[in-house]
Chain A
Amino acid sequence: EVQLVESGGGLVQPGGSVRLSCAASGFTFSSHSMNWVRQAPGKGLEWISYIMSSSSTIYYADSVKGRFTISRDNAENSLYLQMNSLRAEDTAVYYCARWGSGGRAFDIWGQGTMVTVSS
């Protein structure tokens, strides 16, 4: 079964840091570009970061640029998001999502992990 499982969310203080992980299974992880997408409570989806299969190309949304770092370990079938200098507005469910190799879309999503930034 093709699956993405996020972990690492929780309560963090403003200005703090947290590292999210996404474990992939059921497909050749090293062949796919990956993304992080977030959703604030009661709000819509916001794409925040993309990493190519080889890590050679990385993009960030302006809202997280300079604070968040995406990375991956193809040997471990894992995707990561290092989140620093966290703000209240970063409170959201964070999803990892696979970029399809056929159709250009987010074709597989994890169940999400909640990050709450609050004192």
Chain B
Amino acid sequence: QSALIQPASVSGSPGQSITISCTGTSSDVGTYNFVSWYQQHPGRAPKLIICDVSERPSGDSYRFSGSKSGNTAYLTISGLQAEDEADYYCSSYTSGPTFVVFGGGTKLTVL
């Protein structure tokens, strides 16, 4: 079982918005603003899309946004496009025995 909990799947139609949750604990998401999100297309390496909870790496799409409330972080994708269909992973720095923990991943289907 992954340290951070994500829904296994979400779906939406083109043009809609979707939100993916990522629930941790006070040892990671709840204490540190070092939450990041990654997009992974099949057979490809992950790509950073959000860092430090809500920061977008320069040049990346404004359609991706991040937020956090308590022990849960959120990734919102607005104006869904077919190319957004991928797996999404959250990650957080942790004061636990490991350096970083990942969520189990969420498969986004664009209907």
Partner of A47, one of B47, B55, B99, B105: B99
Q: With a CB–CB cut-off of 8 A, which chain A residues contact B99?
A: 35, 47, 50, 59
- Compute the total of residue contacts between A and B using a CB distance below 8 Å: 68
Q: Does A95 lie at the interface of the complex (its beta carbon under 8 Å from any beta carbon of B)?
A: yes
Contact A111 B45 (CB under 8 A): yes
Contact B102 A105 (CB under 8 A): no
B-facing residues in A91-116 (Cβ within 8 Å): 95, 100, 102-112
Which B residues have a C-beta under 8 Å from some C-beta of A?
2, 34, 36, 38, 40, 45-48, 51-52, 55, 57, 89, 91, 93, 97-105
Contact A104 B2 (CB under 8 A): no
Q: Does A44 lie at the interface of the complex (its beta carbon under 8 Å from any beta carbon of B)?
A: yes
Which A residues have a C-beta under 8 Å from some C-beta of B?
35, 37, 44-47, 50, 59, 61-62, 95, 100, 102-112
Chain A residue nearest to B105 in the complex (CB): A44
Q: With a CB–CB cut-off of 8 A, which chain A residues contact B100?
A: 35, 47, 50
